Chain A
Amino acid sequence: MVKNKKLVTNKTILNKLENSINRKKFLTAMGITAGSASLNCVRAPIEKIVPYVVRPPHVQPGIPTYYASSRVQSEGINPVLVKTRDGKPIKIEGLDDHPFSKGAVMGDTYATIWDLYDADRFKTPLKKGGGTYTAAKWDDAITQAKSLLTGNVRVISRTSYSPSESSVLKKFLNRYNAKHIVYDPIGAQQELATGNEKSYGKGLIPRYAFDKADLIVSIEADFLGTWIRPDVFTKQFSSRRNPDKNMNRLVVAESIMSLTGANADTRLAIAAGTHVTFALGLAKELLPGSMLSGSTDINKVVSAYTPDVVEKVTGVPASNLQSLAAELKAAKGRSMVVGGGATSRDSSVGALQVVINLINDILDNNGKTIFTSAAIKETNDFSSQEELMALIAEMKAGQVDALVVNRANPVYDLSMAGFGDAVKKVKNVIFIGEKHNDTSIAANLILSSSHYLESWSDGETMGVYSVCQPVIRNLFDTKSPGDILLALAGEEGDFHSFVKQAASKYLGSTGAKAWDKLLADGYFVYQKEANQGFSRINPSSISSVKAPSAALKGYRLNLITSVGIMDGVNGNNAYRQEMPDPITKVTWDNVLMVSPVLAKEQGWKTGDIIELKGQNAKVEVPLVIQPGLRKESMGLAMGYGQYNMSNFSEHLVKGSLKKGELGVNAGLFAQVAATGYLYSGISVTATKVDKEYRLGEAQKELSQHNRYLARVADLKDYKKDPKSGHFEHKLEGKGMYVRHPHTGNRWLLNIDLNKCTGCSGCVVSCYSENNIPTVGREEIWRGREMSWIRLDRYYDYSSEKEKEKDVNMLEPNVHFQPLTCQHCEQAPCENVCPVAATQHSSDGLNEMAYNRCIGTRYCANNCPYKVRRFNWFENWGKKLKDPQQYALNPDVTVRSRGVIEKCSFCIQRIAEKRQEARVENRKISEEDLRTACQQGCPADAITFGDVNDAKTKVSQLEKDARSYKIIQEVNTMPMVTFMSKVKNKA
């Protein structure tokens, strides 16, 4: 094939370069690839796809083309805007005018660019023969697959939001009259759907409107980090975090500190595994006087959970519970109570959700803040625990002839249920996926599926039909999942036309115009949002609920999800692994979160290795001292410790990690019951083992030592004095020098700490935009992370008195502060560079000339903000493994070993927009100029623009009473302003 030959030439050139990639050579190479790409559009897809912004559609070398698409995954749909240069996607961004996401996507979506260019992906379909895999042709693979699919066929997969894929799957199932098992690795969705089914007989996941609720109470639901649709919820939540307009209030009752808990105005630390107790206690307090107060079923259950009992079990003072109840009562119909997440997974599925439903019913929030119209997920397609157990049983019994694993990793996800042993008994396993995982190695036929940026698909959620269109032709010999199923089902035609057909149903027309518009927009609203909620709950649903009514003794483990890795399906990604967990700040590992008081008692310190023993699991895992935990509660993130996760990361990080070295499998601790899994309050024993371990902690210090870096005020005080919580350094005198006039543009970045939730989306977005190298655990342990914008996290108290009150550090103020180069007007770094490698531009940027830098690192020392990064080793070059080089942004220099790098305020974007503005002879508008971090922020906390222009948003924000600059006493005159956090303490 011609195109492959072409690709080969590009490859060979780049392979040559891998030996010595320096900026010039790299750019030439990009030039060559660009040229060849533009000549015959090597990588451009075959089908007609319509660009989002730039017209005419054909690729112009050097000019980025944007395509609207969506990332359809089993956790939901992320509407994205894909930036392609010369036919290659280089950056994923949020789709701004999408009705429900409004451009909100988080780190894990930005990171998918590395998944596309993952060197460990299957290059072809693979046949197993004599224990080893050999490449196969597609036709053979399909025919073989068909031959294997005989007798008792089972299909296991995760849930799907794609109507087309589901219908194709149906065809497949019918053809082989196979049984389909759908499971949920984290459990959040299943808990919700099943719980609602119990309460309302409707197994749907409703649409939540966090922006409509004045008071939000979350019980174990990390809706800002990992629960259901964190990106969308973050957008909604942050839109109400303006202290000058009626600001919402967030109360979180949780056992393990989560992103949501960290952002809570009031956080109630409950003992691990007692969330249902808390919920019931809350319900009991609310019940009297409500229309459900009469129900005997309900009373029977809740009556036992008096505030005192709740206090005994959860540790939350009775008074707090009562006052919370009072608040909720007051906020009837304006409030929202949510609960769930991995932690909520209960031995009886949906236990917590049922109680939550009860509470929302009492407060009659249904139809006010929680809607069934345009729901997130219309149906509960998850197989019940019984079905799943049955499958495993018949697999063990060898009754399953063929098992098709459709883009899932049950061997890992269901490790606690012994799926791994069961799958060995299955005669034929067909695996559909992008790369190896614990399940694929058991397969005797692997059908290599394409990345979502290479394939057609679609999705429906919240009344919006989103299309997923390929923006690059298959890099390897792969097929889109839809095409694979279609082929297996023996259907004619390709999945593209299939999607088109499915779309026409939503669009209500088969016309080309409608289709083109869909491709251009990326979405189509087929169902208007209506204020319609659930009907009354069925009281008997409560009666089944059981919850501890006495304090749980001994160490109790909660399985949690981390923002970066989630269920671990995409763990094989250097960006996700290197993005520090917002709470623990640990990279490349999952750690045992331990309360400070317990650690003090046991003499444990962060980084110690703990041997954790459960019923049928025993692991050695590093610990991290985590404020906000009850004494004996412990947390361990899932998604790590996948033994066979091939290490893409290996090529990119120093001290390459061997397989199975990425943390431990927390799932093993889950307790299997007939009706569900218990993920919380698991009884464990923990003993310290004497082992040296180099834990990749990006931040080691907990407190900010009263340095007024991240500032916080109580809403009440703020209303009185907008400057409360601030401490300004008065700078007398003008200084000995005349200041340089910075006429024309003057760039300023404003970060609203009240909006920022600490999700770290900006960090990943910046990595992807600016070609920031990932360095790995060993290097981060040494303190050599390369992030240009980092998220500082502090646990502090507003006064010494409060600090003394809370010796166990149960309720500290949690601060998040994105810190990047401050572009100081009087930058200390500029003065000390002997070779003038860093200097100031006329538009107020602190510029860095990489090829002038000799690496004295004096600037890094003299930077009060410590935002300058040094290339300790060659971070690209040899480490790049084809096709990873395509993921690099050609507009940004790839830094060589031995030079300093740092945030440039995305100078390449400024330059691009300046160019356009000059051509069109106008000023640069702040709408089209946005930095990567700004774009990457789902909370709209970051604003960037020209501060010399009084009309721009930044210049107004800069004048805001909450705005301040940090470390002023050094008189650096930063060009980054922060807006103090305001806590809405009732």
Chain B
Amino acid sequence: MSASTSIYSLNKTNREIERDILSPMEKFPGKLWWFTFIINAGLMLMMLGLIGWTFVEGLGLLGINTPVSWGLYIVNFVFWVGIGHAGTLISAILYLFRQRWRTTINRAAEAMTIFAVMTAGLFPLIHVGRPWMVFFIFPYPNERGPLWVNFRSPLLWDVFAISTYFSVSLIFWYMGLVPDLANMRDRMKFEHVQGKISSFGKKLKYAFVRILSIGWVGSGKTWIHYEKMVMVLASLATPLVLSVHTVVSFDFATSVIPGWHATIFPPYFVAGAIYSGFAMVMTLMIITRKAFKLEAYISIKHLENMGIIILVTGMMVSFAYTMEFVFAAYSANAVEQYVFINRLQGPYAWAFWTMFACNVVSPHFMWSKKLRTNIVVLFIISIVVNIGMWFERFVIVITSLHRDYIPSSWEMFIPTWVDWGVLVGSFGFFFFWFLLFVRTLPSIAIAEVKMDEGHDQLAKGMGH
């Protein structure tokens, strides 16, 4: 691929590239970092505290009740899984489409995936009535019969989908890191030789990179297999990422509850996931490039592209919303129709209209080049979209459940402060890990950037 098609060009030497990227990790973190880190760690601890309390007292501390047996926990679960998707999309799908601009953002995006899935993974565990019995969901030979699991249950599919997704993303991400870790190792080696590595922290870090770089030396032969592996993993991750949110949507689509039981759910959920995921990537990238002065790497063009993707997926989601109503109208099923009327004007209409404003209206600002190249606008939109996507899940889960077939058991769902506390805490949990990541690992794929640069120069035929 030639420089002309690249949406950014650095003309930096490899040495400069790695200095730009690695330097943030080589000096002691600044006040800003510590500030945000401590806040998020605090939120995380609060969440863990609340979870512990519910373990002791019981789920009654939440607002859920008999018709609405799933509350904010499941909303958060779907939300966070969705966030994860953009990472894989960038690292895998854009890779297969040879989208070169992905190079500088895929590492951070993948990291986001890992942490988002970790956060999401918390919720299924803590929302069950008897978390200490949760190992029942694994089909292992046991002396209770043996009692096996029910392979027909979408929740079990979830277990497989999420764990597969998490582990595959993890190794994909890690294998991508190996050359950069080796690079860090070799940079540190010289300090080591000169006895500069004295502090415990540095020793630890050196050991850390030595071990994690599993003896990578950049051999040509290994590179060939390595590239093949990236290709294979990318092509495995692509259907995987699509399958994960499909399976998550099955939790709802395969049920019999009006408002859940819809064939459009899989594509609708995937689109929504990418939508919210890209919004989150945008938020993070805007912060990272500012904080670590990586404007050269994460150019405005990157953000613009993401803006366009948000516009497109946003319209897909809007289409899905419309189709839901069309189906309900066409179904001639009174119960189904009532659910959707209830969404528009029922007691939770406010949630629906918030979702509508955030997800259907806001992305259309992206039509204007002026707006989609304006960092501030992009930042606001990215946040708004995420709020909207959270409410989308709220609308799906709560409004469908609270008024279904039997009017006698209709109930309102009123979240308690525990519900809200855990929601806020989950963000703390996510950012806790993300902040650790940007401090300890290269948040841009150095080797890939070098390769792009190198190949540019190769193509230009100019020497080093």
Residue ranges of A at the interface with B (Cβ–Cβ < 8 Å): 654, 699-701, 703-707, 709, 779, 782-785, 790, 792-794, 817, 819, 828, 830-836, 852-858, 860-862, 864-866, 868-874, 896-900, 967, 969-970, 972
Contacts and interface: CB of A to CB of B under 8 A. Distances in A.
B147 interface: yes
B130 A860 contact: no
Nearest to A775: B60
30 contacts: A699-B409, A707-B335, A707-B405, A707-B407, A782-B65, A783-B67, A783-B411, A792-B406, A793-B408, A833-B155, A834-B149, A834-B159, A853-B129, A854-B137, A856-B127, A856-B128, A858-B69, A858-B70, A858-B153, A861-B257, A864-B257, A866-B66, A866-B404, A866-B409, A871-B58, A871-B129, A872-B58, A873-B60, A874-B58, A970-B405
B150 interface: yes
Contact of B147 (A852, A857, A899, A967): A852
B11 interface: no
Given A854-B128, A854-B133, A870-B69, A794 B408 contact: yes
A873 B66 contact: no
Contacts of B59: 855, 870, 872, 898
A864 B65 contact: no
Contacts of B156: 834
A793 B408 CA distance: 7
B223 to A, nearest CB: 43
Contacts of A785: 66
B66 A705 contact: no
Given A852-B136, A866-B409, A705 B334 contact: yes
A783 B67 CA distance: 8
A866 B405 contact: yes
Contacts of A857: 64, 69-70, 129
Nearest to A860: B69
A860 B153 CA distance: 14
Contacts of B15: none
A861 B69 contact: yes
B43 to A, nearest CB: 26
A817 B251 CA distance: 31
A854 B60 contact: no
A779 B64 CA distance: 11
Contacts of A855: 59, 128-130
Contact of B405 (A836, A852, A869, A967): A967
A902 B281 CA distance: 45
Contacts of B134: 854
A874 B57 CA distance: 8
Given A854-B136, A855-B129, 13 more contacts: A701-B407, A705-B334, A706-B334, A782-B65, A828-B256, A834-B156, A853-B129, A858-B153, A865-B406, A872-B59, A872-B60, A897-B130, A967-B405
Nearest to A709: B406
Given A828-B256, A861-B70, A866-B67, A836 B407 contact: no
Interface of A, secondary structure class, is loop
B407 A832 contact: no
B421 interface: no
Contacts of A704: 407-408
Contacts of A868: 66
Most chain A CB within 10 A, of B68, B128, B406, is at B406
A862 B155 CA distance: 12
B406 A969 contact: no
A898 B410 contact: no
Contacts of B67: 783, 866
A794 B407 contact: yes
B75 to A, nearest CB: 13
A346 to B, nearest CB: 37
B401 interface: yes
A872 B95 CA distance: 48
Contact of A970 (B127, B131, B256): B256
Interface residues of B, number: 52
A332 B147 CA distance: 69
A967 B409 CA distance: 15
Nearest to B136: A835
B256 A854 contact: no
B255 interface: yes
A828 B260 CA distance: 13
Contacts of A861: 69-70, 255, 257, 401
A835 B137 contact: yes
B154 interface: yes
A784 B129 CA distance: 15
Given A707-B407, A873-B57, A783 B66 contact: yes
A784 B152 CA distance: 28
A831 B130 contact: no
Contacts of B147: 835-836, 852
What are the 8 tightest A-B residue pairs by CB atom distance, in nearest-first order? A855-B129, A898-B129, A872-B60, A783-B65, A783-B411, A792-B408, A857-B69, A866-B409
A856 B58 CA distance: 13
A779 B60 contact: yes
A784 B407 contact: no
Contacts of A828: 255-256
Contact of B406 (A819, A872, A896, A897): A819
Contact of B153 (A834, A869, A897): A834
Nearest to A835: B136
Nearest to A729: B333
B327 to A, nearest CB: 15
Interface in B117-145: 127-131, 133-134, 136-137, 144
Interface in B47-75: 57-60, 63-70
Nearest to A832: B153
Contact of A790 (B69, B131, B408): B408
A461 to B, nearest CB: 37
A529 B414 CA distance: 59
B255 A832 contact: yes
Contact of A853 (B127, B130, B251): B130
Contacts of A897: 58, 129-130
Nearest to A866: B409
Contacts of A706: 334
Interface string B324-337: 00000000011100
Interface in B13-65: 57-60, 63-65
Given A836-B148, A854-B130, A969 B153 contact: no
Contacts of B57: 873
Contacts of B152: 831-832
A701 B408 CA distance: 6
A834 B63 CA distance: 23
A832 B410 CA distance: 22
Most buried by A among B65, B154, B156, B404: B65
B346 to A, nearest CB: 12
B129 A864 contact: no
Nearest to A972: B256
A819 B408 contact: yes
Contact of A860 (B66, B405, B412): B66
Interface in B367-406: 401, 404-406
A856 B66 contact: no
A705 B404 contact: no
A705 B407 contact: yes
A899 B58 contact: no
A785 B67 CA distance: 11
B338 interface: yes
A700 B411 contact: yes
A703 B69 contact: no
A319 to B, nearest CB: 34
A707 B60 contact: no
Given A852-B147, A861-B257, A864-B404, A782 B63 contact: yes
A156 to B, nearest CB: 44
Interface in B252-288: 254-257
A703 B148 CA distance: 43
Contacts of B410: 700-701
Contact of A699 (B63, B401, B408): B408
